[in-house]
């Protein structure tokens, strides 16, 4: 077999068949990342529609029903199409290289979990062309509104099922890889933090994606098969949907952020030229956040009419999350403390993350306070909060990760000046877009409504201008990435002076198959 192997080395089909049939973690990682990038622009285009409509009061660009479809699909596309696949793409590229494994544990399954995604996206977006249009009840698809919607809601439900299968398979694969494929000597407490955060994220995915599948199945049978899960006339309760949905939904937001924590914990030590401060406490903090994520779900439902004991329990549990999150922010800042810092693009994104994500975390704490939440609920304050944690949190971490690892993947350095332009434009336009939304929310502007009262106009104009700038800036990102893939200054194997870890011992770009024989870690 060994002789045949030399002849076979690096051999794969060419053209489209390479990508359709691949079992290689690097190919599959690339597919995931490109898919996420495309979905990022699709979801972004929807955000542009939303901001165009909200540029001034009154109804001018789209009709309200289409506006509702845009808010619904923007969220679904960004969460399930952009952020989650981007992180799985990073996991595919990086985890085997970071733990010294020859590939993912189950390569064919890996291919399957990717190729479910384009089909799921087709179902999700296909709903737009169905009679009655796409889903319009918000991404949370609360009944009774979602029971009344048209065929687009059914497309969404089946798309969610398909996405769920993909996530569960991907998570199985990642867990099996991390638990079973580490190089000899690489004990759990020596793993890079990106790998740790993904291990815990994969566990969360396995725990909650099936719950989402269950609740949308109940929604489907309520819509078409005459069940009464969410209909009080038959003894059901629409609030039941919210409970089960958010039992999925809250761990889901940590699924979207934990790998970002991992990325930041890789980038900061590299450019501070110091080891990560408080490695052990980072691991325990990640575990604590994951555990707490299962007992905070009703903080999304404070205004629905919960018993007081329930409100208090979920408020205290939610505020408790600030403790492990605070540990993390403290450790990141301490990692930079007295480091020999340089500010290449990945580092800028990482520092931007720490700063802006913390703002989002603090507005989350405000939302956790029940009496305050009665005021903030369903206003633009909530929209501002979750864009600070999801855009300047997850997405800026993904961008930082791309700049950090792209030279390794392609063997070429990106253009540093362009990268810095991309960061600063993104950070500035992001804040112009979303900071005013805090004020809008506190002043009472409701979310998910295509029109607003006149006094909200000025902040909305700011927000829309910022959004258009933010959208355009991402074309620069696309340009930088494509240019780097095509050529550029050759990257060294270590790429960054302060980089440590197994992936940096490989050539840039790494050969098609790496770590055929596991490296020894001491």
Which residues are the active-site residues? 74, 103, 139, 166-167, 250, 252, 254, 265, 299-300, 325, 328, 447
Q: Which position among 61, 145, 207, 476 is part of the footprint of other proteins (CB under 8 A)?
A: 207
238-272 and 322-336 are packed helices; what angle lies between their axes, rounded to 10 degrees?
20
Q: Which position among 33, 73, 191, 213 is part of the footprint of other proteins (CB under 8 A)?
A: 213
- Which stretches within 225-339 are classed as H helix? 238-272, 279-292, 308-320, 322-336
**CB of 298 closer than 8 Å to CB of 256:** no
Alpha-carbon span 354 to 261, nearest angstrom: 9
Q: Minimum distance between the CB of residue 193 and other proteins, rounded to whole angstroms?
A: 21
Complex with other proteins: residue 221 or 342, whichever CB lies closer: 221
At residue 409's C-alpha, the angle toward residues 407 and 414, to 5°, is: 25
Cβ within 8 Å of residue 483, ≥6 positions away: 414, 415
Q: Which position among 30, 69, 94, 162 is part of the footprint of other proteins (CB under 8 A)?
A: 162
Q: Is 517 in the site for other proteins (CB under 8 A)?
A: yes
Q: Which position among 52, 57, 107, 365 is part of the footprint of other proteins (CB under 8 A)?
A: 107
Complex with other proteins: residue 180 or 308, whichever CB lies closer: 180
Q: Which residues from 218-257 bind other proteins, rule CB under 8 A?
A: 218, 220-221, 223-229, 231-237, 239-240, 243-244, 247
Cβ within 8 Å of residue 362, ≥6 positions away: none
Q: Which position among 111, 266, 426, 437 is part of the footprint of other proteins (CB under 8 A)?
A: 111
Residue 379: beta bridge partners? 446
Residue 446: beta bridge partners? 379
Q: Is 105 in the site for other proteins (CB under 8 A)?
A: yes
Q: Is 309 in the site for other proteins (CB under 8 A)?
A: no
Q: Which position among 36, 49, 82, 172 is part of the footprint of other proteins (CB under 8 A)?
A: 172
Complex with other proteins: residue 82 or 220, whichever CB lies closer: 220
Q: Is the peptide bond prior to 363 cis by the omega test (within 30 degrees of 0)?
A: no
Q: Is 34 in the site for other proteins (CB under 8 A)?
A: no
Pick from 353, 401, 487: which is nearest to 33 by CA?
401
Q: Which position among 39, 75, 209, 350 is part of the footprint of other proteins (CB under 8 A)?
A: 209
Pick from 383, 131, 397: which is nearest to 256 by CA?
397
A 10 A CB-CB count for 42 gives 18
Q: Is 520 in the site for other proteins (CB under 8 A)?
A: no
Complex with other proteins: residue 469 or 509, whichever CB lies closer: 509
Using CB under 8 A, which of the segments 76-84, 147-155, 350-358, 438-446 binds other proteins? Answer: 147-155
Q: Which position among 55, 112, 142, 504 is part of the footprint of other proteins (CB under 8 A)?
A: 112
Using CB under 8 A, which of the segments 140-148, 275-283, 497-505, 511-519 binds other proteins? Answer: 511-519
Which tokens in the block code for residue 7? 């002849």
Q: Is 140 in the site for other proteins (CB under 8 A)?
A: no
Using CB under 8 A, which of the segments 178-186, 337-345, 440-448, 488-496 binds other proteins? Answer: 178-186
Pick from 194, 170, 263, 186: which is nearest to 515 by CA?
186
Q: Is the peptide bond prior to 105 cis by the omega test (within 30 degrees of 0)?
A: no
Q: Is 511 in the site for other proteins (CB under 8 A)?
A: no
């Amino acid at each position: 077999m060994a002789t045949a192997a030399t002849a076979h080395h690096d051999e794969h089909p060419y053209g489209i068949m390479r990508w359709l049939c691949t079992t290689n973690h690097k190919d599959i990682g690339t597919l995931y990342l490109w898919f996420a990038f495309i979905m990022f622009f699709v979801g972004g285009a929807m955000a542009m529609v939303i901001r165009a409509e909200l540029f001034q009061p009154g109804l001018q660009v789209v009709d309200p029903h289409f506006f509702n479809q845009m808010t619904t699909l923007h969220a679904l596309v960004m969460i399930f199409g952009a952020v989650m696949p981007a992180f799985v793409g990073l996991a595919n590229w990086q985890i085997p290289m970071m733990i010294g494994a020859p590939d993912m544990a189950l390569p064919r399954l890996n291919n399957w979990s990717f190729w479910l995604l384009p089909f799921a996206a087709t179902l999700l977006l296909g709903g737009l062309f169905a009679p009655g249009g796409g889903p319009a009840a918000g991404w949370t698809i609360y009944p009774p509104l979602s029971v009344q919607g048209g065929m687009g809601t059914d497309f969404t439900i089946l798309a969610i099922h398909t996405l769920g299968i993909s996530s569960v398979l991907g998570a199985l694969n990642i867990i099996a890889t991390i638990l079973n494929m580490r190089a000899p000597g690489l004990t759990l407490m020596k793993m890079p933090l990106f790998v740790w955060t993904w291990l815990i994220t994969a566990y969360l995915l396995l725990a909650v994606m099936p719950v989402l599948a269950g609740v949308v199945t109940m929604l489907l049978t309520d819509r078409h098969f005459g069940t009464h899960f969410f209909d009080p006339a038959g003894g059901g309760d629409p609030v039941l949907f919210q409970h089960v949905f958010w039992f999925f939904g809250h761990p889901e937001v940590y699924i979207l952020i934990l790998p970002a924590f991992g990325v930041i914990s890789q980038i900061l030590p590299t450019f501070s030229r110091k080891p990560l401060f408080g490695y052990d406490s980072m691991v325990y903090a990640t575990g604590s956040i994951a555990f707490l994520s299962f007992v905070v779900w009703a903080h999304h439902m404070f205004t629905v009419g919960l018993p007081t004991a329930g409100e208090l329990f979920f408020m205290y549990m939610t505020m408790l999350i600030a403790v492990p999150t605070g540990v993390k922010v403290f450790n990141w800042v301490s990692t930079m403390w007295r480091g020999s810092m340089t500010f290449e693009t990945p580092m800028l994104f990482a520092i931007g993350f720490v700063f802006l994500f913390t703002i989002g975390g603090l507005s989350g704490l405000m939302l956790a306070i029940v009496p305050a939440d009665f005021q903030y609920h369903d206003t633009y304050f909530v929209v501002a909060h979750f864009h600070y944690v999801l855009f300047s949190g997850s997405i800026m971490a993904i961008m930082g990760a791309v700049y950090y690892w792209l030279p390794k993947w392609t063997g070429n350095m990106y253009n540093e000046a362009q990268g810095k332009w991309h960061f600063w434009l993104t950070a500035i336009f992001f804040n112009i877009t979303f900071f005013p939304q805090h004020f809008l929310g506190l002043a009472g502007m409701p979310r998910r409504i295509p029109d607003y009262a006149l006094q909200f106009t000025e902040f909305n104009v700011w927000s829309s201008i910022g959004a258009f700038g933010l959208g355009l800036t991402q074309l620069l990102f696309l340009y930088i990435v494509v240019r780097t893939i095509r050529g550029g200054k050759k990257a060294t194997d270590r790429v960054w002076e302060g980089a440590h870890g197994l992936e940096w011992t490989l050539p840039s770009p790494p050969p098609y198959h790496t770590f055929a024989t596991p490296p020894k870690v001491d």
